[in-house]
Amino acid sequence: MLTINGLKARIEEKEILKGINLQINPGEVHAIMGPNGSGKSTLSSVVAGKEGYEVTEGEIIFNGKEMLELEPEERAAEGIFLAFQYPVEIPGVSNTNFLKTAINEQRKYRGEAPVEAAAFLKMMREKAEMVGLKPELMKRAVNQGFSGGEKKRNEIFQLAMLNPKLAILDETDSGLDIDALRAVADGVNQLRNSDNAFLVITHYQRLLDYIVPDFVHVLYDGRIIRSGDKTLALELEEKGYDWVIQETQTA
């Protein structure tokens, strides 16, 4: 589904991604862990198409298409979704209007008819309930005045509404209380199927107790320095990153 080969990216002359290789297949859950500043959010931004990064080498192939040539909205319509580490507040744009526009723009891209108003509202209700998002928040502007946890739930709510093929969750667990964490994880688990995939960026094993990954990668200084199965996350939780970093440097 997603193949990243030799991806190098810089921002303002500073190289941040120094050759990323990653293969994600349908039905898989991958976790990326790594110290602060290692490039995790940069990787997700580059995949989603954020401006301001200069990709100097490599490719991002998603379902056979080169994503680097597409605009962010085209990548979204192809099925890539990024749950932001820091969701922005957009005053004046209501959640409902925002989501309806997003769904219809994606449908238009794929040559589908706009969603019916009644069906849309029904879906809104169902998905909001699924992630435990209070209905009154739907009437408010996007993320405006939302608590940290509500913002994160809103990301997962959007994920549920847009039903992408690949969802990248950038530290969706940070700042969540236990209940919210479980709600988010339950949401993700309900959405999982053999056709979609998840890339979960996190600092904590805790989330991975709920969303069990097939692969765990360690990103350090712009490179994936180790990959393993879910036990790698447990090991990291116990011992920290130093041993992995040292093993890489001596290797």
Ligand X SMILES: Nc1ncnc2c1ncn2[C@@H]1O[C@H](COP(=O)(O)OP(=O)(O)OP(=O)(O)O)[C@@H](O)[C@H]1O
Which of other proteins, Mg ion, ligand X, none does residue 162 bind to, with CB < 5 to 8 Å depending on kind?
other proteins
Q: Which is nearer to other proteins, 44 or 232 (CB)?
A: 44
Residue 57 is a binding residue for other proteins (CB under 8 A): no
CA-based nearest residue to 219, from 3, 15, 42, 9: 42
φ and ψ of 4, to 5 deg: -110, 125
Decide whether 40 or 153 has the Cβ nearer to ligand X.
40
CB 52 within 8 A of CB 15: no
Nearer to ligand X, 136 or 242 (CB): 242
Assess 37 for contact with ligand X (CB under 6 A). yes
Under rule CB under 5 A, residue 38 binds Mg ion: no
Count of alpha carbons within 13 Å of 164, Cβ hemisphere only? Answer: 31
Return all residues near 37 (Cβ < 8 A) that are at least 6 apart: none
State the sign of the Cα–Cα–Cα–Cα dihedral 113, 125, 121, 170. Answer: negative
Whose tokens are 């120094």? That residue is 18
- List of E strands, the chain: 2-11, 14-24, 29-33, 54-62, 65-66, 80-83, 90-94, 141-142, 166-170, 197-201, 215-220, 223-228
| x/- letters, 157..196, toward Mg ion (CB under 5 A) | ----------------------------------------
Residue 88, classified by CB atoms within 10 Å of its CB into exposed (0-12), middle (13-18) or buried (19+), is exposed
Q: Which one of 41, 45, 143, 196 is in contact with Mg ion (CB under 5 A)?
A: 41
Only one of the segments 29-37, 87-95, 169-177, 217-225 lies at the binding site for other proteins (rule: CB under 8 A); that segment is 87-95
Q: Is 243 in the site for other proteins (CB under 8 A)?
A: no
Q: Does 42 bind Mg ion (CB under 5 A)?
A: no
158 binds other proteins (CB under 8 A): yes
Residue 11 as a binder of ligand X (CB under 6 A): the answer is yes
Encode burial over 211-248: b for 16+ CB neighbours within 10 A, e otherwise: bebebbbbbbbbbbbbeeebebbebbeeeebeebbeee
CB of residue 203 vs ligand X: minimum separation in angstroms? 7
Binding span for ligand X by CB under 6 A among 39-47, 144-152, 184-192, 206-214: 39-47
Which residues make up the interface to other proteins (CB under 8 A)? 48-51, 71-73, 76-77, 81-82, 84, 87-88, 90-93, 97-99, 101-103, 105-106, 109, 141-142, 158, 162
Binding site for ligand X (CB under 6 A): 11-12, 14, 16, 34, 36-42, 85
